[in-house]
Structures are given as structure tokens and as C-alpha cells.
Amino acid sequence: MLLSTILIFSTNPLNAETKSNKPLKVLFIGNSLTFFHNINDLVGQIAYHKNRKVRIDEYLPGSTVFSDHYGSKECLGMIRNNKYDVVVLQSSSFEPVSNPEELIEYGKKLYEEINKSGARTVFFMTWEYKGMPDWIKKSKNKKNKKLAEKEIPNMYSHIKKAYLRLAEDTGAELSPVGTAWNMMRKEVPDIILHDKDNSHPSEYGSVLSAIVLYSSIFQDEPKGMPTSYYPYKRDKDPGAKDYSIKIEFAEKIKMEQIAAKAIKETKALLAK
């Protein structure tokens, strides 16, 4: 299990979250999809770039779903005892295909815990696979393999349906990362969002995800984003190599435009 804390400061007195001189406290609950290139760290770097003050904690054990998070005493303890302002919830990207009812059931239970703690819930809508992922190829679960072969071409529709229902049933916020990915893959196919395993995010996929999540968490327009990111600046992962992600200015602008369009579309669907 991977657990760490990032503390990022700015001194801009105009931001509502800094008026009390306290950072916005955000907890990311998820798995390796968030941990790849440290999407939560990237959100913190965007916040710093935008003169926001934020503290980010994470609970990101690999290969987990909402029911695993709900069944974890450590995860529930973090929600109940740390007085977060925002909790971001991310489940397995395949669960909306393989078991959408369980995703919705335990997503609601986690929302109730977060709501009781006084924090806002932001559901992190994940993305469709590029092709058959390595973890399913290697799996001995024949049922999942057959399901993946049949449904991967329609995966986004399953994800969108499940997360929209979850947001509608709870009234929680929905960060449409998966919608932004779907739009970007159609409009700018040369920008590769997936890692070579067909399921995890590439560097570009992680940056696009962070832009959408930042906008949802801070309720801010996806504009003025940085073009340089540093995913592995963390004390809790001493074995990781430091590296940077650089994106072209034109690519950054396109990501901002896609993020804005995805957020607008999702808000319109939830307002119906």
C-alpha cells in the first residue's frame, strides 16, 4: 500500500481557500491509475502554479475497487479522522463493465462516510482501455477475458452510465476525466493517453487527468495550466527516479479546451 502526504503553499490572499491561512485538505482514494505518474501530485503542482494552497494525502493500494476501500479500516479511518475538505474517489476502470451495481453500491457507501465527515465528494470518472490490457491477458479469469473482448469497444459508454448514475443518486460532484480522454482520443489521436499496457495513463494521460481533476476540486476553469510537471518529487518513494513531463504550449491549450468541454457536457447531463 502506498501512502504519502504533499504540502504545497501559496500566499495569494484572494483565494477563498487561503483566507483562513489554511490549505485545502484533499484526500485521493484510488489505485494504480491515480498513482501512475502521480496524478495527485500533478494536481498539487497545478494548484501551486495557480496560486492555490493545498495539502494532499493519498490512499492508493493497487488493484482495488470501491468495496475494497469501504472494507479498509485504514481508509475509513482517514476519511473519518482527518477533517478533509475534499475526498476524490477512483475505482477500477473495468468495474463499470464487470460489476457496475457493486461500484454504485459501494460508491454510495463511501459517499455517505465522506458526507458525514463534512467533506465534499468528487467521483473520478476513469477512462476506456485502448485495447486488451495486460492484466486481463495474464488473468486466469476466463469470464473477464470474454467480457473484455466483447465490451472494450463500448467501455466508455459503460463508464459514463455508471458514474452519471452515481453522481445523480448521491448529488456528489463528478470529475469527467474519462469524458475528456474520450474527446481527446477522437479529436487529437496523435496525443497518446495510454501507457503501453493499454490501461494505465501515459505521461500525457496523467496530465490531462490532473487538469480535469484540478478544475473539479477547486471549481476553477481549466485555464493557465503549466507545461512542465515533476511526478516523482516525494520522500515516501525513495527508489523512484526523478523525471519531468514537458508538453508543448499548443498541446496544453488543447487539453484545457477538451477539459472545459468535458466539464460543460457533464454538468449539462447532470442538470437534466
**pLDDT tens-digit series, residues 171-205:** 999 999 999 999 999 999 999 999 999 999 999 99
How many domains is the chain built from?
A: 1
Average pLDDT estimate for 52-58: 96
How deeply is 244 buried, as exposed, middle or buried, from its count of CB atoms within 10 A (0-12, 13-18, 19+)? exposed
pLDDT for 9 equals 39
Number of Cβ atoms within 10 Å of the Cβ of 20: 8
User: Does residue 18 surpass a pLDDT of 50?
Assistant: no
Reported confidence tier of residue 223, pLDDT bands at 50, 70, 90: very high
Q: List the single range of 23-37, 127-141, 152-166 with lowest mean pLDDT.
A: 127-141
Domain assignment of residue 110, given as a range: 5-271
pLDDT for 20 equals 57
Q: What is the CATH number of the domain that holds 197?
A: 3.40.50.1110
> What is the percent of the chain where pLDDT is above 70?
89
Reported confidence tier of residue 209, pLDDT bands at 50, 70, 90: very high
pLDDT for 260 equals 98
**Average pLDDT in the chain:** 91
User: Does residue 66 surpass a pLDDT of 50?
Assistant: yes
